[in-house]
Structure 1
Amino acid sequence: MSEDIRTRQGRRKQKESEKKKKDSSPKKLVLKKIGLSLAVLFGVLLIGGSITIFSMIKDAPPLDPEKLTLAQNPAILDQNDELFTTLTAVENRRLATIDEIPPLLENAFISVEDIRFREHFGLDLRRIGGAVRANVTGGFGAEGASTITQQVVKNLYLSSEKRITRKIQEQYLAIKLEQKYSKDQILEMYLNAIYFSEGAYGVVEAAERYFSKTLDELEVQDVALLAGIPQRPNFFNPFKNPEEAEKRRNVVISLMERYGKISSEEATKAREIRVEDQLKRSEKEPYPYRAFLDQVLKEVEAIDGITSTDIYTGGLTIYTTIDQDAQRFVDNLLQSEDQINFPDEFFQAGLTVVDTKTGEIKAIGGGRQKEVVKRGYNWATDPKRQPGSTIKPILDYGPAIEHLKWSTYHQIKDEPHQYTNGVPIRNFNNQYAGNVSMRHALLRSLNIPAVKAFQAVGKETAAEFGKGLGIPLDTIEEPYSLGGFTTGISTLELAGAYSAFGNEGVYNKPHTVRKVVFPDGRTIDLTPKSHMAMSDYTAFMITDMLKSAVAPGGTGVRARVDSLPMAGKTGTSNFSEQEKQRFNITSGAKDIWFAGYTTNYSIAVWTGYNTPEEGYIKYDGHSEHIAKDLFKKVMTEISKGNETPDFKQPNSVVKVGLERGTGLLPSAHTPRDQIIYEYFVKGTEPSKVSERFAKPVAPRDFMGAYQEDSAQIILSWVYPSEDRANHKFELEVSINGGSFSLISSTNDLQHIIKNPNEDSTYRFRLSAVSKDNNKLRSDPIEISITTPKKEIEEVVEETPPPIEIPDPVEDLEVEDEVQEDDEKPEEENNSEQTEEIVEQQSEDTNGT
């Protein structure tokens, strides 16, 4: 029985097993098909990838032994596309053999660039794996894995594009290079070709440029500093960015310590040394037009996708904006004292010349190189100094015109005032001018009206306006309105901002590079896009006011070039009281500026000292004018032979004649010397006519009468009450047809003449006269009054007794005498009456 059961169970199991096999057969078939498809696809990809890689490798350039000797240096072209330097003609490159390169220097570069250099075959697979992970998360090119060998290949043979093709070719050529040359030879190529900024190629030149040392004199801190520079030469240039250079140096020191190239004690000692203390600049000038070329290299370095080694060794052709004649003049002007009397060797200056219409930089004055340079700043582009009053058109009056549509005559009261936090504001002369126009406030550089304009606009609006002109404004507070910046600006930035005022409000970022062309023909256009930074009315009205600032009476008149239509502004920032006391500074300003422009060129000049140290600063009274003198000489030189059109008034601006003092339209009677002309945004000009010089209305209801009982003439008249305070009344009289004479100048509405002549005709003439201007008088009105003749009472006289008749001759003589006596009293009578009227007039006048 059990056997049957086992048999039946066995049969069931067998059937179930067979059923499962039947059910699983289609799944296996599908899996097999998928696997086969993947295998085929992988094979196709492998074959296709191999073909693609082979094609990439096939197109790779050959290893040219000549290129391994020296890098391909950039060719620099001027504004006329003419070559003016390749950097090789003056770089004086000196090579070092591997035997002359100290192990300490080798280890510094290997530690930071390629720690497995001595072990790999040209590629570092571990670094490639890390780079792949980074590129998957950050996109292709997010992180590189180039070995020193690959860098040599890339710098000498390939373009800088972050493309797979270039990377495959780079890896292929690196392997070939490793097969053909030893590690020492490759390292020698690398250390002799890399660029270290300051015009130095290779470690020999770099050691001399930064430390004035030979290779065997270099210490740990020195080799670490050099090894950190090539990643970003200009940025890690210790003369320009000592803080960043020191951070980078310490990274290299830490890597050398980690990999056992130096001891912990050596690392600690090297890190404690300040970068400034290890530097000793070489006396040799690296290349001509150094200040300009520094800016060129800075701009090219900023191009996305280009490495520093591509720039300095990749055979680029760089098209610049330099005007060699202008640059040569600027360099000579700063380096010699033939034209400018600098106070001492420490006094510095920097300037930038920009094309007003395009933003192209034509020349850069980087400083007076005879100074004992501590950091090697390019004084035109690197330092950020407080701009003083040169900022007023940018943050104060420009925004006020743009957003509030102020006219150039807009009245601002110069009076005691303070910032919103209560801190008082003072003018440079500690005085107040009362109501002044915006034009006057700007040309006299008054501080209080400038702050009031800034406050009226608001700091956010002012900041946006400034940013549109290329002024760096991460934060802004009220003192910025007077140039009290936390960090400051450069002459390059200020020249660019002012150029927009001269270019009808269009801003072009100042630049030295137009385009870059690679050896394979690829071109990168670096011309910045222009944008409308302000309305054309703002640009023109600011320009017109700044023309006044360089005219007689303006603070910048010394910089004026008489033959040119130009505009400009002075600026100074002062030493703090603490600085004056600490460094015994008795006079002078900390920063002295002048910025100005024509329709062709815009120039900003800064002058001053590097640091306020006792005995280091010397002002001779002339120093405050050097910025203006530099501007005038440069503008005069570069404008020779060029037509310089005047600034064009746009249709959005109207020129209006105004009555001085009232700001209203002049009347027909306003004197010519009381009419000034100012600019308004169209639609905001005044329409009301001033009545200040208008012809006064004549008095009315002028009447008079003789009062016989009191023997006097009483005159009266009427005048509008609202006008009486501004007018007086002049009364003239003519007696019996005689000439008119003034008998009264009064504020009253009546006049009394006592004891007038009898039987006389009095003609009175009355006029209203302006109290402000005696020439302004109404039409006269007249009345006549005749006084009656007095009646003489007849008197009967007794007959006189007879008298003795005299001798006839004697009678005749007596008769003549009597005749004369009879006529004389009548004349005296008239004279006495006129005198009486005048006396009466005098009494009336004194009474009023």
Structure 2
Amino acid sequence: MSEDNKNTQNKKNKNKKDKKEKKGLKIFLIVLLLIIVITLGATVGVVIAIAKEAPEIDPTNISDLLNQTSFILDQNGNIIEKIQTKEYRTIVSIEQMPEHLKDAFIAIEDERFYKHIGVDPKGIIKATIDNIKAGHIVRGASTITQQLAKNLYLTNEKKLDRKIKEAYLALQIEKVLTKDQILEAYLNRIFLGQGAYGVQEAAQTYFSKNVEDLTIAESAVLAGIIKSPSKYALYKTIPPEEFDAEKHIEVGQIDSLGEKYIAVFNEEAIKRQRIVLKKMLELGKITEEEYNEALNEDIRSKIKPGQKKIQGISSYFNDYIKVQVIEVLMEELGYSKEEAEEELYTGGLKIYSTMDVELQRQLEDVYNNFTEVLLGNPDNIKGPAFISWRLNSTQDIIDERNNVIFYKQEHLLDENFNLIIEKNTFELTNGQLILKNKKLTPYKNNIEIADYYHIDNRKNLVTHRVGTLVLPEKEFSINEEDKTIIISNKFLENNPDFYSISENGDLLINEKYFYRHKEGIAQPQSATVIMDYRTGEIKALVGGRNVEGLQVLNRATSAPRQPGSTIKPLSVYLPALDNGFTAASSIDDIPHYNDAGELWPNNWYSGYRGIHTLRKSVEQSVNVNSVKVLEEIGIQTSMEYLGRMGIINNNDPTKDNFITSAENSVNNDENLSALGLGGMSKGITPLEMTAAYGSIANSGTYIKPITFTKILDKNDNLLIDNTPEENTVVSPEVAYIMSDILRTTVTNGIAGRAQIPNMTTAGKTGTTQDKADAWFVGFTPYYVTGVWIGNDSPQIKLNQGSSIAAQLWKIIMTRVHDGLENKKFEQPANIVSLNVCSQSGKLPTELCKHDPRGSTVITEIFVQGTQPIEFCETHVELEIDTTTGKIANKYCPKEYISTRIFIKREPPYNPKDHNGIIPADYQYTAPTEICDVHDEKNAIEEFLENEEDEEDNEKDNEEEDKEGIEDIEDFPRKDDEKDNNKDIEKFPKKDNKKDDENINEDNNT
């Protein structure tokens, strides 16, 4: 083929190939277009479908939606509280809001707010780019309108369809509302931390001022909180026990949902504020001068936490309902804490509580008349009621080291509540104020002020908490050598009202520069929980005495205290009954020693009483026996059962009050004192104690306490079905034995004051060292109830022990059981009753009936299979030489020998080994020594003496015979030898070898 023909053919082939490629590309483009159209159509279809699922809205009723709130209902569905609407969200008009406040929120949340139509595509692109550059989410793309739509109409679930619904609803809202109406609704609805919804409530929460009075700096702080209320709130709240004056800066006291917290300054809020201010400057919302002024404003010194008071039939009970609702929403629905709180306060929920309103009213009535119920007319009380205190010469309350715990009110504050600094404890030098006064405790970041007290007209001791001096950190310093406080002249110049000088020369610090609890807290305090142990439902609860003002610290749920002897049935005796002990097991109350070789523990009575059954050890609350049983079963066994009863949380130790060695290797509760006597590091709450005792009453099954049974959402759909957790602690049989022991602790033991008239009653008292806490926890066939009494400051003691708690328990439960039929605890089938010896816990012998104290045969109950099958060996019969009190030997004269019944201790007890300490029953203990006074030599000497006496007697008789021979001859003669032989034959011959064996056996005994 020629070259031309080849070129021509190549061109034809190339054209064919190009045509094929163009055709393939055309087909590909057509297919791609079809895919895009189909995908777009599908996407549009999905979006339309999702949008159709969005709730129908009427944007004109937004003000009504802002007031939509949740309800708590009683067990019958009657409303008992409309949750916190007025206290936590106050609606204000946009005209009341300063411009710089609105500008701050728009600048940081939605800078194009006045330009977009509800959705901001430009903002979405910009946010996407910023997030890609940062590698994580640094800004959101939701507009203010979208955020409002979500808050009003949608949930917090993080799903794509929610975002689509959110955008759709935002477009709908923008059609009918002006931008100012949207902004007003948004600023009244947003959550700003610490339970504050809306800018007005936030202004009160953080600064105790109205929204119109907020400065640029304060407004920027609030706007900064939106991104993360938990991270950027102006202060954080921590429990008092976690407060560290070296690390934290206290700015006030907070009572939230029945729990007391210390409010501490949050530096993160200021860092976020600076970002907001910079953005405001960039957008031209503030000038350079305003920017610098706001940066230099000392926000910390302006923080003044507002106090939130919650109304309702029982803030204590309802507060705990709210706590549990928040926890369940977080655990079961995956909400964050902020989202759960938002749902609770604004979600329109219907929460069905377990409260029995009638029982709650009865309980509150007792607490409203606390002093009168327990002591009668307060006028007859010298006062303060129930308190045992120590006062110094100036009537300040002092501790055992003579340190002031509470100052008398007039010693700390003047009539205008200014702080008194005595004239010899301060000086003004070079414009600086130098303070050195015991009422002030300086730390690196703040200065604490002492607390004070007064006695009210009902003879209650009322204590008042005082916070720290509100001073900028840079405006004071501490001299480390003598701990003097030096306040700068700059601060004094800028705050001329900080102090004044009284007529007598004292320095008076203005009361506006520190926080004080005005109403005070009545002491002693108390808490009670009433629970249906079969369901776990709390029926009534009071967390404190409301004497002057509202006290919202819930001591029933949030204030653990040392349980004292009420811990013994839980940590010692119930585990013991499940691990080889019986109610009849014998335990010897004799001296016991700690690791240092010191006598420990002491009993509540003086000395030691000797052998007890386990039942009697509980009835008499014998400390020694509790420790000895705990030693035998082991610390780990005790902890295992406390875990079953909800006192130890093995899955999350941060959620319990028990301190394990893993949490603190030095100071923890894994010891005999904590578990055997109740001397725990933090303690246990009344609710925890009540629920744990409920597991005994409920046939050995623990049920976690609940305050509500179900939650419906705003559309009455079931949101939560609250079925309580439960687990087996012990068998019903073991639980019944423990219940019966606690019953006789009331009928026969030291808890007699708790006995409810005509009602089966079981329970245990508890008093901590020096009467800082008094307890009674017990149950009936109907309810389990725990009562605690004590002062918030354990350094102030009660003037009575657990008897006062038992008395209060009886008063409460008598009212609760009014009209209820008396019943016995339900006894399982395989419980057997048996006669045993109280000294050995075994089957009795004839000797047990003849104990010198009376018969020791008692009737006891046992789980089938655990009853004793051996006979008592504790009672023994011995021949005793009455002149020595020792075991008689063969040489002891018969006239000195007495057969007696004793108890034989195992191991033997020797007072010489215990510094001469003698238990009360020691006189009945079998001697272990053989008489060493009468032996062979003494017997011979005595025999010879007796022979001489007989010879003398014979001589005397002979003389008498001679004198009276004539009389004798009047009678027939007697064959003396024959008669004597007959008399001797009446007695068996003596086996000396056998006697020796008996003496050796007795000696071994």
Residues 41-82 of structure 1, C-alpha deviations (whole Å, 9 max, x = no match): 332232122122212323431225234334322232111222
Q: Name which one, 1 or 2, has greater alpha-carbon Rg.
A: 1
Aligned positions of 1:410-489 closer than 5 A: 410-417=585-592, 425-429=600-604, 431-473=607-649, 474=653, 475-476=659-660, 477-478=670-671, 479-481=673-675, 482-489=677-684
After superposition, the Cα gap between the structure-2 partners of 1:667 and 1:525, relative to the gap in structure 1 and judged at 3 Å, is same
After superposition, the Cα gap between the structure-2 partners of 1:258 and 1:204, relative to the gap in structure 1 and judged at 3 Å, is closer
After superposition, the Cα gap between the structure-2 partners of 1:148 and 1:566, relative to the gap in structure 1 and judged at 3 Å, is farther
After superposition, the Cα gap between the structure-2 partners of 1:15 and 1:36, relative to the gap in structure 1 and judged at 3 Å, is same
Q: CA–CA distance in 2 between the matches of 1:326 and 1:415?
A: 45
Q: CA–CA distance in 1 between the matches of 2:74 and 2:973?
A: 100
Which residue, 255, 259, 277 being the options, matches 1:239? 255
Which residue, 710, 715, 726 being the options, matches 2:878? 726
Amino acid in the other structure paired with 1:314: G
Q: TM-score, normalised by structure 1?
A: 0.70
Structure 1, gaps ≥5 residues long: 575-587, 694-722, 730-744, 754-766, 774-817
Secondary structure of the structure 1 residue equivalent to 2:715: coil
Q: Which residue of 1 aligns with 2:41?
A: 47
Aligned positions of 1:21-170 closer than 5 A: 36-59=30-53, 60-69=55-64, 70-87=66-83, 94-102=90-98, 121-123=117-119, 148-159=144-155, 163-170=159-166
Q: CA–CA distance in 2 between the matches of 1:30 and 1:123?
A: 41
Q: Which residue of 1 aligns with 2:573?
A: 397
Secondary structure of the structure 1 residue equivalent to 2:630: helix
Range 216-225 or range 40-49, more displaced: 216-225
Q: Report if aligned partners of 2:562, 2:773 keep a CA contact under 8 Å in 1.
A: yes
Asked if residue 281 in structure 1 is aligned to residue 302 in structure 2, the reply is no
Residues 540-586 of structure 1, C-alpha deviations (whole Å, 9 max, x = no match): 222222223323432x3222223221222223334xxxxxxxxxxxx
Residues 98-127 of structure 1, C-alpha deviations (whole Å, 9 max, x = no match): 222345765776688767766765446699
Asked if residue 529 in structure 1 is aligned to residue 563 in structure 2, the reply is no
Which residue, 155, 177, 182 being the options, matches 2:173? 177
Aligned positions of 1:174-573 closer than 5 A: 174-193=170-189, 204=200, 213-216=209-212, 238-240=254-256, 246=264, 250-260=267-277, 272-273=300-301, 278-279=304-305, 281=307, 285-302=310-327, 303=329, 304-305=333-334, 307=339, 308-336=341-369, 337-341=371-375, 342-343=385-386, 344-345=461-462, 346-347=522-523, 348-370=525-547, 376-402=552-578, 404-417=579-592, 425-429=600-604, 431-473=607-649, 474=653, 475-476=659-660, 477-478=670-671, 479-481=673-675, 482-523=677-718, 524-554=720-750, 556-573=751-768
Tell me how far 1:17 sits from its aligned partner: 9.0
After superposition, the Cα gap between the structure-2 partners of 1:528 and 1:623, relative to the gap in structure 1 and judged at 3 Å, is same
Amino acid in the other structure paired with 2:767: T
Tell me how far 1:364 sits from its aligned partner: 1.5
Amino acid in the other structure paired with 2:735: A
Asked if residue 641 in structure 1 is aligned to residue 822 in structure 2, the reply is no
Range 683-692 or range 501-510, more displaced: 683-692
Tell me how far 1:399 sits from its aligned partner: 2.3
Tell me how far 1:132 sits from its aligned partner: 9.3
Range 336-345 or range 117-126, more displaced: 117-126
Secondary structure of the structure 1 residue equivalent to 2:321: helix
Q: CA–CA distance in 2 between the matches of 1:631 and 1:413?
A: 32
Q: Which residue of 2 aligns with 1:597?
A: 779
Q: CA–CA distance in 2 between the matches of 1:243 and 1:108?
A: 30
Q: Report if aligned partners of 2:586, 2:840 keep a CA contact under 8 Å in 1.
A: no
Q: Which residue of 1 aligns with 2:868?
A: 686
Q: CA–CA distance in 2 between the matches of 1:423 and 1:17?
A: 114
Tell me how far 1:508 sits from its aligned partner: 1.4
After superposition, the Cα gap between the structure-2 partners of 1:453 and 1:768, relative to the gap in structure 1 and judged at 3 Å, is closer
After superposition, the Cα gap between the structure-2 partners of 1:440 and 1:516, relative to the gap in structure 1 and judged at 3 Å, is same
Q: Which residue of 2 aligns with 1:760?
A: none
Tell me how far 1:252 sits from its aligned partner: 3.5
Q: Report if aligned partners of 1:546, 1:567 keep a CA contact under 8 Å in 2.
A: yes
Equivalenced residue count is: 701
Q: Which residue of 1 aligns with 2:792?
A: 610
Secondary structure of the structure 2 residue equivalent to 1:381: coil
Range 265-274 or range 48-57, more displaced: 265-274
Tell me how far 1:751 sits from its aligned partner: 10
Q: CA–CA distance in 1 between the matches of 2:637 and 2:25?
A: 69
Tell me how far 1:644 sits from its aligned partner: 4.8
Q: CA–CA distance in 2 between the matches of 1:99 and 1:525?
A: 44
After superposition, the Cα gap between the structure-2 partners of 1:224 and 1:135, relative to the gap in structure 1 and judged at 3 Å, is closer
Secondary structure of the structure 2 residue equivalent to 1:665: coil
Residues 322-378 of structure 1, C-alpha deviations (whole Å, 9 max, x = no match): 1111212222322334313554233121222111111111112021233578x9421
Amino acid in the other structure paired with 1:607: I
Q: CA–CA distance in 2 between the matches of 1:549 and 1:127?
A: 73
Residues 473-505 of structure 1, C-alpha deviations (whole Å, 9 max, x = no match): 534311430333333332222211111110011
Q: Report if aligned partners of 2:704, 2:726 keep a CA contact under 8 Å in 1.
A: yes
Q: Report if aligned partners of 1:74, 1:315 keep a CA contact under 8 Å in 2.
A: yes
Q: CA–CA distance in 2 between the matches of 1:688 and 1:159?
A: 69
Tell me how far 1:31 sits from its aligned partner: 7.3
Q: TM-score, normalised by structure 2?
A: 0.60
Residues 4-29 of structure 1, C-alpha deviations (whole Å, 9 max, x = no match): 9xx97x99899889889988998887
After superposition, the Cα gap between the structure-2 partners of 1:289 and 1:728, relative to the gap in structure 1 and judged at 3 Å, is closer
Asked if residue 631 in structure 1 is aligned to residue 809 in structure 2, the reply is yes
Secondary structure of the structure 2 residue equivalent to 1:605: strand
Tell me how far 1:687 sits from its aligned partner: 0.5
Q: Report if aligned partners of 1:496, 1:509 keep a CA contact under 8 Å in 2.
A: yes
Amino acid in the other structure paired with 2:674: Y
Amino acid in the other structure paired with 1:656: L
Amino acid in the other structure paired with 1:603: T
After superposition, the Cα gap between the structure-2 partners of 1:272 and 1:748, relative to the gap in structure 1 and judged at 3 Å, is same
Range 23-32 or range 384-393, more displaced: 23-32
Q: CA–CA distance in 2 between the matches of 1:396 and 1:194?
A: 52
After superposition, the Cα gap between the structure-2 partners of 1:417 and 1:177, relative to the gap in structure 1 and judged at 3 Å, is farther
Q: CA–CA distance in 1 between the matches of 2:130 and 2:595?
A: 51
Q: CA–CA distance in 1 between the matches of 2:531 and 2:130?
A: 43
Tell me how far 1:407 sits from its aligned partner: 0.9
Q: Report if aligned partners of 2:88, 2:195 keep a CA contact under 8 Å in 1.
A: no
Q: CA–CA distance in 2 between the matches of 1:135 and 1:142?
A: 6
Structure 2, gaps ≥5 residues long: 239-253, 281-289, 376-384, 387-460, 463-521, 654-658, 661-669, 882-886, 904-963, 991-998, 1000-1005
Q: Indicate the RMSD between aligned Cα atoms, in angstroms.
A: 5.0
Amino acid in the other structure paired with 1:366: G
After superposition, the Cα gap between the structure-2 partners of 1:470 and 1:151, relative to the gap in structure 1 and judged at 3 Å, is farther
Q: Report if aligned partners of 2:202, 2:222 keep a CA contact under 8 Å in 1.
A: no
| Aligned-residue identity in percent | 31
Q: Report if aligned partners of 1:72, 1:315 keep a CA contact under 8 Å in 2.
A: yes
After superposition, the Cα gap between the structure-2 partners of 1:80 and 1:372, relative to the gap in structure 1 and judged at 3 Å, is closer
Q: Report if aligned partners of 1:63, 1:173 keep a CA contact under 8 Å in 2.
A: no
Tell me how far 1:432 sits from its aligned partner: 3.8
After superposition, the Cα gap between the structure-2 partners of 1:472 and 1:747, relative to the gap in structure 1 and judged at 3 Å, is closer
